[in-house]
Structure formats: C-alpha cells, structure tokens
Amino acid sequence: MSTLIILSVFSAVTMLYALWSVLALKKNVPGGLIGKKLNGLVALVILFSISYIMVPFLGQLSQETLTISMNIILLFGAIYVVATISLIKRIIQTLSD
C-alpha cells in the first residue's frame, strides 16, 4: 500500500472523528452567538472531511485544477482558524462576565 493511500486514510478517519466530535459537542451548546459560531465550524469540518476523502482522487486532475482546488482548501483552512480563534475569544469573554 502506498504512503499516499495510508496518509489519506489516516487523515480522513481523523477528520471523520473530528466531525463526530463537533456534532456531539453541538448538541450540548445552546443557541446564541456561540451556537452560531459553532454552526460555522461544523460546516467547515464537513468541508474538510469531504476534502480529505477526495485527496486520493486529486492526482487525476490537471495541474491547474489541482492548484485551484488546493488553494480553495487552504483558504477555508484559514477561515477555520479565524473562526476558531473568534469562538474561543467569545467563550473567554462569556466566562469573564
């Protein structure tokens, strides 16, 4: 089995676990601002889960399409980081009040 396949399977399983975890966490979070932010994070985790599952098939794309696809994934990764920081900031503010 190639290294790419092993890494892809491990990454996809890890993201599916992250998806399961965030969906379980979402059940315990009330609505409001934190709930809205968490909904955004759930959507991004779903997007990343799909992306990780697609990785083994990206080699069949043209170089230009592959570059665009990877840049889109990286853009959403950056959005995920900003959303996570924002959520943590809101939680800290809520706990400080």
The C-alpha angle with vertex 71 and arms to 47 and 15, in degrees rounded to 5, equals: 30
Q: How confident is the model over 37-52, as a mean pLDDT?
A: 86
pLDDT at 25: 84
pLDDT digits (tens, 9 = 90+) for 11-22: 889 989 988 988
- Contact in structure between 13 and 52 (CB atoms under 8 Å): no
Q: How confident is the model over 38-53, as a mean pLDDT?
A: 86
pLDDT at 75: 92
Which range of residues forms the domain containing residue 53?
3-96
* Torsion of Cα atoms, 28 then 51 then 79 then 93, to 10°: 20
Q: Is the pLDDT of residue 65 over 80?
A: yes
